[in-house]
Each structure stands twice: as C-alpha cells, then as structure tokens.
Structure 1
Amino acid sequence: MICVLFAVLTALSNASASVLQRRAASEAPADGAFRLSLFAYLVRRRIWLAGIGMVAAAALFQATALATGPVALVQPIFIIELPLALLIAGLLFRVSLPPRTWVAVAAVTAGLAVALAAAAPSGGVDRASNQLWVLALIATGGFEAVLLVSAVRAHGEPRAALLGLAAACGYALTAALMKQAMASLADGPGAFFTTWQLYATAAAGVGSLFLLQNALQAGTLVASQPMLTIGDALISACYGGLLFAEDIRFGWWLAAQVLGLIAIAAGYIELARSPLASGQGVAPAEAEAGGESADRLERTTAS
C-alpha cells in the first residue's frame, strides 16, 4: 500500500533530521546558547540545513500517508523512528551498536509487523462529521485532564510515563486532524485553508511537543518512551475507528496484537538504555547529538 511506503519514509526522514540537527547543534559554540548567534551559526551549517530539509520532507510524507491510508495503519509505523535514529546515529558517529541494541531493534520491528498483521487496519472514510469531532475532542480533553492532574501529583518515573502518554494522545489527535485537513484539498485550496482542522493540527502539535519535553525532563526514556510509542499507536487506532470508521480485527487476533505490543515495549525499554540513547560511548562533542536523537525528538509533524 502506498500509505505504508510514505509512513516508512516519514519515520526515516524524522530519524535522519533528529540526528543531523543534533550533530550540528552539538558542534555549536557553547556561548551561543539561548542567543540568536546560535541560529546564525546553524543556518551556515549544511548538515543542519539538511536536517531542516528532512523535517519538511517528513511533513509532506506524513500528510501523503494519512491522505492515502487509515490512521490506525499509518501512525503505528512511526514506531520504527527511534530504532532508525539510533542506527543512523551509530553510522554518523561511527559507533558500533552492542548486540543487545540490535536484538532490541529486531524485537521492535518484528513486534510491529505482528501487531499490524493481526490488526489489519483497513477501510474507513476521509472525513468525520462535526458531531463525531465534538465527541472525540470532549473525550480527548477529559483523558488529557486526568493524565495531567495525575502527573502533577506524581514524581519521577511515574510523572514521565503519564506525560509521555499525554503527549502520545496529543500526537494521535494531531494525525487525525491532519487526515481530515488533507481530505479538504479535494474541494480546492480555499476549502483547505478555511477548514478548522488545519489550524487545530498546528495547535495540537505544539501542545504535544510541550508535553513531550516535560515528559523527558521528568524522568528517563525508559519510563516515557514506551508510553509515548505504544500510546500513540493505540490511541490512533481509537481515533481511526471513532472518527473515520476504520476496521480493526478483534477476537482471537487480539492475542497476537498483545504479543506484538509486548515485543515493542521490551525493545523500546532496551533501546532507551542503549549507549547512544544515554549519550555514552560517543565523543564529547557528539554526546548531546546521540542522546537527543534517541529521545525521539518528536516534532509537530510526527505522530
């Protein structure tokens, strides 16, 4: 399916952008932090500009994937973004990945394949009614409120996990909004630029990025990353079914789906502990790049 191809290209582009931009930022003068001189330095770096180009490409690829396929199929494919970022970082920084990391990459990939094959997302429509959107937004608001209140009362790893799930919900909503905005293109540019989903996509994306940064600040990747990754996939499936009438197999197929999710979670926990994810095993000038590329560095265009 063409949507699968573009979803994979989105993950690859985002992973490449993370590594390229962080490599450029790690080489910037330390006295440029929080100053415009940092931006002035970066815009003269080809590697940073290449990263920006990959961000733009990822946005186009994701929009195309969502316009041509179910949300419940496209969003889970972005699970491979972290493994790709680590592999690319390893090549760029000339760091050999340990066997455990390779096993984790294989677990994530195999788990995703099993889960998607068992769920077999299909069908659906391109647009949801305003009534369904109202229900979805009310449910989302309530869910996010519970998560945020719980996160405020928690500390350390529990807070990171809760905020990671809140960010996942935001990214899943962003994807659903983007899908409907893209569908309005069929009615012409005027309809596209006047649909409320287009502007809600930007707002939801920025809010999700804010939640993610707080999750990363609150605790380790081991706590936030599995919640972010698996949460995005599961909540996207819910949006796909509620808003766009997408079909997912249940019954005995649920057992295979759960096994796939367990493999993904286990793989992500191991990846979050890898040398590149922690910034270890790389040169000092590259440590920040390797570590932050592994933080998945979610953008408003991703998931």
Structure 2
Amino acid sequence: MISVLFAVLTALSNGSASVLQRRAAMKVPDSEALHLSLIGHLVRQKVWLAGIALVIVAAVCQAVALATGPISVVQPIFVIELPATLLLAGWMMRVRAPRTVWYGVAAVTVGLAIGLASAAPVDGTDSVRGADWVPTLLLTGAFEAVLIVAALRVRGNARAALLGLAAACGYALTAALMKDAMSHLGPDGGALALLTSWQLYATAVAGVGALFLLQNALHAGSLVAVQPMLTLGDALISILYGVTLFEEELRTGWWLLPELAGLGLIATGCVVLARSPLAADTLAPPPPPPRVS
C-alpha cells in the first residue's frame, strides 16, 4: 500500500509539473529547439521553476515507491498522470471539464485497475546483476537514438510525440536505475553504499536527459501529443524492465485477455482525453503570429 500511495503522489506531482512546464515552454522561441539555450530561457521563468520543484517532489515520492514495491506496479500507476494533467490545467486556466473528460478519466482509472488486478505483478529481486545492465543500456541508447533522429525529420505534434516517447523511455530507465540504487540501502549496505553506487549517478544522468527530452517535446507541440506517449510509454517500458531486469512475474495464459482489455481502456481513455475540448482549449500551442508581407 505504501508503494501505491507514493506512486499516486508521484503521478499527481508530475502532472502538475507538466502543466507548469508547458506554460513556460510556450513562451520560448522556436529557434531554441533542441539547444541547451532552451533551458536558459526556461530557468528565468518562475512558473518553470515551480514545475521543477514539483519534479523534485515527484522524484522523492518515486524513490520511496520503488523501494517498497515492484516496478511493474509502481510505474503503470503513472498513467493517471494524463487525466490529472488535464483536470489540473482546466482548473488553473478556469476551463470547465466537459463530460467527455470524465469519461476519459473513468476509462483510464478502470483500465488501470483491471490491468493491475489481472497482471498481479509479483516482486522479484531488488537489485540487478551488473552484467545485465550492459545490453540494457546499449539497446535503450539505440532506441532513443532512433526516436531522436526520427523526431528531427518532422515538426509539430509528430516531433512532440516522438520526443515524448523518447522521454518516456528515459524516465523508465531512470526508474529502473533508481530501484537498483535504492537496493544498496538494504541491511547489508547503507547510505555510504548508496552514495558509492554507479546506479545513483546513472539515475541522475538518465533523469536529466529525460527531462531535457521532455522540455523539447513540450516545446515542439501540444501537451496532448506528448502526454499519452509519455504516460503509456513509461508504463509499458517500465514493465519490460521489471520483467527482464528484476525478474518480476506477471500472470499469463487467459489472464492476458483482461490485461489487454485494461490496456485498451487506458488507450481509449487517453485518446478521449486528448481529443476533448478541454485539451484543445487549455493545452494546445498558441497560434503563430500573422506574417507580414
């Protein structure tokens, strides 16, 4: 229960942070895309700094959740981040949530409940063998590179979606590294063992990289293009890490049917939320200024 509680707090903190970061990113010139100077523009905005503060809160909550529960349980709970983001954006911008939004929220929530209850993830090991990280990091890096190269060839929401998926992969990797790092706090380790583990510093690098990709995704297009890829991608890739790295077990056989049904409900809910008037009114990028001939 502790892991579930802190996973929910993480999702709510991340959703709030996404809204604040998106509002800040809308004020940055297009010429700063995929440049480090983008961060320079953002850091001068109080709303962006508030979003970063919530990211830090989310990181602490996520560390507690991963230290007390399997990654296959903790990370999928983050799919509630999308409905939380939209509802928070509507509240902050004083836009009333229409009925379709509540349908989407219900679909995501019910789908998550069905999926987790059907999969019934069983915790595996708390740590990962060092040798297992080598192919994982190589494959993850290759996947990220393909997504970034593809994103550079397109513009608008297509680029935002690809970079959002790349950020999701980065956050899933961050979670896996964080869980492995937290295992050093066990009875045979302690604070010193944690501080001397390479996983802790790799977590920081992966997290910063994922954050950079997310800022560029939010800058490239609307939040409705980014958030579904971010939340669903994070959940599915994290489950993959949980099964392959931490030897967590999921139900198979006929249980795959309700698991797929739950995933379908989540995907449907995300689409409904992405197409809702609330998303269009509050989260779409501002129209470009008129051209002067």
Same fold (TM over 0.5): yes
- Between 1:5-14 and 1:232-241, the stretch displaced more is 5-14
Q: Do the aligned partners of 1:6 and 1:64 also contact (CA within 8 Å) in 2? A: yes
Alignment of 1:268-287 (within 5 A): 268-278=270-280, 280=281
TM-score (norm 2): 0.80
Q: Identify unmatched segments of 5+ residues in structure 1.
A: 29-33, 281-286, 293-303
Q: Equivalent residue for 2:57?
A: 57
Secondary structure of 2:116's match?
A: helix
Alignment of 1:1-303 (within 5 A): 1-18=1-18, 42=46, 54-186=54-186, 187-278=189-280, 280=281
Q: Do the aligned partners of 2:81 and 2:231 also contact (CA within 8 Å) in 1? A: no
Secondary structure of 1:252's match?
A: helix
Q: Do the aligned partners of 1:21 and 1:51 also contact (CA within 8 Å) in 2? A: yes
RMSD in angstroms over aligned alpha carbons?
3.1
Q: Do the aligned partners of 2:17 and 2:50 also contact (CA within 8 Å) in 1? A: yes
TM-score (norm 1): 0.77
Distance (whole Å) between structure 2 residues aligned to residue 215 and residue 38 of structure 1: 14
Distance (whole Å) between structure 2 residues aligned to residue 35 and residue 162 of structure 1: 20
- Between 1:64-73 and 1:79-88, the stretch displaced more is 79-88
Once the 2 structures are TM-superposed, how far is the Cα of residue 35 of structure 1 from its aligned partner? 11
Q: Equivalent residue for 1:297?
A: none
- Between 1:11-20 and 1:54-63, the stretch displaced more is 11-20
Q: Do the aligned partners of 2:72 and 2:121 also contact (CA within 8 Å) in 1? A: yes
Q: Do the aligned partners of 1:276 and 1:291 also contact (CA within 8 Å) in 2? A: no
Task: Show CA shifts across 1:140-166 (max 9, x none).
Answer: 122223333333344554443332222
Distance 1:177 1:92, change over 3 A: same
Q: Identify unmatched segments of 5+ residues in structure 2.
A: 28-37, 286-293
Task: Show CA shifts across 1:238-277 (max 9, x none).
Answer: 1111111111112222222222222212221222233443
Distance (whole Å) between structure 1 residues aligned to residue 211 and residue 44 of structure 2: 24
Q: Do the aligned partners of 1:225 and 1:269 also contact (CA within 8 Å) in 2? A: no
Distance 1:207 1:17, change over 3 A: closer
